A and B are shown apart, each in its own frame.
Chain A
Amino acid sequence: MEWEVVIGLETHAQLSTKSKIFSGAATAYGAAPNSQACLVDLGFPGQLPVLNKEAVRMAVKFGLAIGAEIGMRSVFARKNYFYPDLPKGYQISQFELPIVGKGEINVVQEDASTKTVGITRAHLEEDAGKSMHEGFAAHSGIDLNRAGTPLIEIVTEPDMRSAKEAIAYAKKLHGLLIYLEICDGNMQEGSFRCDANVSLRPKGQEEFGTRAEIKNINSFRFMEKAINFEIERQQEILEDGGVIVQETRLYDSDKDETRSMRSKEEANDYRYFPDPDLLPVELEESFVEGVRKTLPELPDVKRQRFVDEFALSDYDATILTDSRPLADYYEAVVAVCKEPKLAANWVMGDFSASLNKDDKDLADSPVNAEMLGGMLIRIKDNTISGKIAKTVFEAMWAGEGDVDTIVEAKGLKQVTDAGAIEALVDEVIANNAGQVEAYKGGKEQLFGFFVGQVMKASKGKANPAMVNELLKKRLA
């Protein structure tokens, strides 16, 4: 039987506020255990939550960015369950009336086609603390620094049909949150976490199959592995005539498998009810409009502008606007060199490849926009050829200085002296009398051979256009 994969994602993104969603404790990552857990976060008797305005602002910003309905009246509810990292015995979340309603996100796939992923809702909630299992014999240690950190939980429709689509969406969302400056996107630190709901159904069937929710996916690479593992697991069960159990499964990256989380299974009656310690959040139109004014140019708008302003292909513009840092970098390079197409080729090409190869963030790139733009100017003004530029770029990446320093130090300056090139051309013609004969006899494809020989003789430094021109003249 042929199966169709159905995936929906729930993403928890930490909002980059200074203080927690309901308390004045700091949210900075990496502090000493429990040093950033105040009495509200610890759930002390008599302590009460007061909502952080910035968390509300950020959630609204996200809603506006995806064209969603903004919940002008939203309500916080308690989700009740016992767990050591949940100090009050309930999580303050939103249930019936979330702050962000339906919206959508357009995701460009690998094949350059665009897929629209429906956003069901996004709501504000507080994060839980962390349980440490290592280092204690029979105990777990509880650190509540993270408890109360603001989260926006973004829930999609079951719109994705493969692990690749799910990852493309997750990357797009990740980029968008960073674009909006509402989440730092740091996946190692848990700022952006995805749970995937995966199910299978026979191709052509409308009704959804039973799904499993996979938790603990903390990188894009693991997301692909976890989802594909889960697809295979479910397919095997279904093909053996079995049934899928609706459950929560944990992805174990060490073993590359998902396994059932029994601990989460028993208590699934969360008894949501409106939190009586908090009043309904009612937004004024002016507040929402104020947030709208702070929206940066959104990726899709930026992409169109890149097409219009820089005459880039739709594909190039999409890649360059995929993340805000990359788009900003590209624009900075263009500003230096005024060569949009050349800049696009280099930013998407050698530059991105080098980042990937060294697993570096753009912010940590050894070649800044000034340096890359400077190098492109030197290509444009014929100081170096495109080919030599690759050598120069590698040297810049290795920290050997800017383009002029490297060209000088390595003697890579392009030869544009017509006399010098003429001498080389003459030499090549003299040394290859047979080929000259054949060329003149009509074997015109030999022209490339002569160009190659001249370039080789110049150690790659001769200006290719001049070589062409002089060769044509000599061989005429």
Chain B
Amino acid sequence: MHNKSLAELANGLQAREFSSEELTSSLLDRLEEKNSELNAFVTITREEALTQARAADEKIASGDAGPLTGVPIAQKDIFCTKGVKTSCGSKMLDKFISPYDAHVVENCNDAGLVMLGKTNMDEFAMGSSNETSYYGTVKNPWNLDCVPGGSSGGSAAAVAARLVPAATGTDTGGSIRQPASLCGITGIKPTYGRVSRYGMIAFASSLDQGGVFTQNAEDAALMLGVMAGFDTRDSTSLDRPVPNYAATLNDSMAGLKIGLPKEYFSDGLEAGTAAVVQAAIKEYEKLGAEVVEISLPNSALAIPTYYVIAPAECSSNLSRFDGVRYGYRSDNVTDLESLYVNSRSEGFGAEVKRRIMIGTYALSAGYYDAYYIKAQKMRRLISDDFEQAFKKVDVIMGPTAPSPAFKIGAKTDDPVSMYLSDLYTGAVNLAGLPGMSIPAGFDNGLPVGLQLIGNYFDEARLLNVAHQFQQATDFHKKSPSAYA
């Protein structure tokens, strides 16, 4: 059952081939066994899941079910879940039982989805390898010596190992697309504002966006339809209707204009990855799409720009973790200053502290203009580059990450080399555009993703473009042999 896609499981439930309780219980058994080697989950909510599954079965029996009622999923541990630990991968929140549900969680619950647990992640979503989690590194199911990517590495590994058919994620600079690429699955980050940030613990508020990992684009369309929607509690939530993403999946690729940014195929891209991406583009040409070379002149500066804006916002967003109202409080407190300093220094890991330091520096008196304002101006230029490009093309394609999954520990001593994992993804967050990564092939046995970037609010087209590729190829059907 675990190899079935989300849509297949939904159909099976609707057709009463199996009950949600049977499905949930079977996936939980497998998950509990496999998680010990993958470390993809921080919390497994067996009891809650079985309760939800039984309720789903009742709904299906009484005819009150929605199309996805009873399907098990996992939530990234960045989404607040009422009554369940929400750690954000940090010691700071190791004992944090959220008193409320995130909007995404409410929406999933309303759709009758069954939550099996909360997935591991880089601490406060700061990382590209899932090595910064307080709960330890997540392993890539394709090679346990490799990282799954980050920050949503637990969700990506869980879907890749077929522990769950879908898992939510968040993407601030590539945190859905890069792990999707490294784990050989489908991941979508919609337009900024499409999914409410209410209850999604903030890393960098102007960049963070929720999304989802699935086996394929069709499942992503179904999940995004559940997760997206206007929310009055988030001032940056988009007040526009959510289209039926599944309805346009089969639109033809004939005449589709694909832009290939020349900057995405130059320095920094590994040859094996380039070859896979080029082959995928050829496949689109076969499907009738037209390929044009475009330029995104400021691409190379997206990551330096990102590494000012994201840390600046995070330095402020993480000030609330002060040991006063919730979360970790140091035992070593003698006065107010030591309460703050020791709780924060003991509660946060090295990468989080590093980014808080960078961000604090970039915002401090005398440096604000040189770093923060400069980065905001660069952000405008990077965004304008995309605006120009989308006057010529319907979708932009390129590599998701510069290389397949790298070895655990390979980049931990060199922050800049780690930051460059987001070389092709960060710009999309700066502009607020939707992006996807889909499995496009393999390099030395490790999956390689193709990145699709759409214009604002154009998720339906991205899903359609991804789906058409998956109709013609079967990379998305491959799973690591150890988890087949």
Contact = CB atoms under 8 A, between A and B. Distances in A.
Whether chain B is bound by chain A comes out as yes
Contacts of A80: 315-316, 319, 363
Interface stretch (B107-115, B196-204, B246-254): B196-204
B80 A46 contact: yes
A80 B319 CA distance: 8
Interface stretch (B274-282, B290-298, B321-329, B415-423): B321-329
Among B200, B318, B325, B336, max chain A CB count under 10 A is at B325
B320 A277 contact: no
Contacts of B482: none
A42 interface: yes
A90 B202 contact: no
B362 to A, nearest CB: 9
B370 interface: no
Interface string B158-174: 00000000000000000
B83 to A, nearest CB: 15
A353 interface: no
A44 B326 contact: yes
A49 interface: yes
A47 B100 CA distance: 10
Contacts of B198: 46-48
Contact of A43 (B88, B96, B325): B325
Interface stretch (A11-19, A81-89, A222-230, A234-242): A81-89
B345 interface: no
Contacts of B372: 273
Interface in B89-146: 93, 96, 98-100, 102
B88 A45 contact: yes
Interface residues of B, number: 44
Contact of A45 (B80, B206, B368): B80
Interface in A38-59: 39, 42-51
B235 A50 contact: yes
Contact of A50 (B199, B233, B322): B233
B233 A271 contact: no
Interface residues of chain B: helix, strand, loop or mixed (majority): loop
Contact of A88 (B320, B326, B340): B320
B360 interface: yes
Contacts of A45: 80, 86, 88, 93, 96, 98, 201-202, 320-321, 326
B15 interface: no
Interface string A276-291: 1111000000000000
A39 B372 CA distance: 30
Given A45-B86, A82-B340, A273-B316, A278 B235 contact: yes
Contacts of A88: 319-320
B168 to A, nearest CB: 14
Interface in B334-353: 336, 340
Contacts of A42: 325
B325 A87 contact: yes
Contacts of B312: 273
A277 to B, nearest CB: 5
B64 interface: no
Nearest to B361: A271
Interface in B301-326: 312-313, 315-316, 318-322, 324-326
Contacts of A269: 364-365
B236 interface: yes
A273 B363 contact: yes
B88 to A, nearest CB: 7
Contact of A48 (B233, B316, B368): B233
Contacts, number: 93
B322 A46 contact: no
A46 B368 contact: no
A362 interface: no
Contacts of B235: 48-51, 277-279
A436 interface: no
B234 interface: yes
A51 B80 CA distance: 23
A47 B96 CA distance: 15
Interface in B362-392: 363-365, 368, 372
A142 B316 CA distance: 21
A46 B363 contact: no
Interface in A123-156: 142
Nearest to B100: A39
A249 interface: no
Interface in A246-277: 269, 271, 273, 276-277
B232 interface: yes
B232 to A, nearest CB: 7
A34 to B, nearest CB: 9
A89 B315 CA distance: 10
Nearest to A279: B235
A42 B321 CA distance: 11
Nearest to A40: B233
A455 B316 CA distance: 80
A78 interface: yes
B201 A142 contact: no
B330 interface: no
A142 B324 contact: yes
Contacts of B236: 277, 279
Contacts of B336: 84
A124 to B, nearest CB: 14
Contact of A84 (B88, B234, B313, B324): B324
Contacts of A47: 198-199
A15 B80 CA distance: 32
Contacts of B201: 45-46
Residue of A39, A49, A82, A278 with most partner-chain B CB within 10 A: A82
A288 B482 CA distance: 66
A79 to B, nearest CB: 10
Contacts of B326: 44-45
15 contacts: A44-B100, A45-B321, A46-B98, A46-B198, A48-B234, A48-B235, A50-B235, A84-B324, A88-B319, A89-B319, A90-B316, A271-B363, A273-B368, A276-B205, A279-B236
Interface of A: 39, 42-51, 78, 80, 82, 84, 87-90, 142, 269, 271, 273, 276-279
Given A49-B235, A273-B363, 7 more contacts: A39-B100, A44-B100, A46-B197, A47-B199, A80-B315, A271-B315, A271-B363
